Amino acid sequence: MEARDPELKSELNAALQARSELGPEYESALIDSFLEKVDQRLDVTLDRRVRRHLAEQQIVVARGARAPQPPVGNFGERFGFGVISLILAIPLSAIGVTNAGINGLVVAWLGIVGVNVAQAARSQPLFRRSDERTKSDWED
């Protein structure tokens, strides 16, 4: 596993070395110290990303264009929606078959497919402007 932050990796190695030298009675203090450094690093990284995002929005607004719109869903939302619709398809199919036979099954599945198509259309517009960013504003 490669380290994303060599400085934090060296801090962790130093904390592990200090734990082996000082013993387990100082373990909580060493962990707290290391977590404080990780927390500070996260604060700095998040602050930098937020400032960059705000600066990008200000530049877009200053140029007279619309502010960028947030994406309409991510992979987790779409995946979760698909899984939930398949799970709900089982009882809906059973209810449809029980009440109306094969016609009820067809109607139930048409409804399931229709809801999933509507969700996919909402999250994936047919026409995308060529100047839109495809990468998230929060990624480095």
Distance of CA 47 to the CA centre of its chain: 19
Phi, psi (5° rounding) for residue 103? Answer: -65, -40
Considering its fold, how many domains does the chain have in total? 2
CA-wise closest residue to 124 among 71, 77, 86 = 71
**Same domain, yes or no: 94 and 46:** no
Residue 111 lies in a domain: yes
Cα 23 to Cα 9, 14, 32: the distances in Å are 21, 14, 15
Residue type, 114: G
pLDDT tens column, 12-40: 888 888 888 888 788 888 888 888 888 88
pLDDT tens column, 98-133: 888 899 889 999 988 988 888 877 766 555 554 454
Domain span including residue 27: 6-62
Residue 77 lies in a domain: yes
CA-wise closest residue to 106 among 119, 96, 98, 116 = 96
Residue 67 lies in a domain: no
Residue 137 lies in a domain: no
Quick one: average pLDDT of 34-58?
Answer: 85
**Same domain, yes or no: 16 and 54:** yes
Residue 35 lies in a domain: yes
**Same domain, yes or no: 122 and 84:** yes
Q: Which residues contact 56 (CB under 8 A, 6 or more apart)?
A: 68, 137
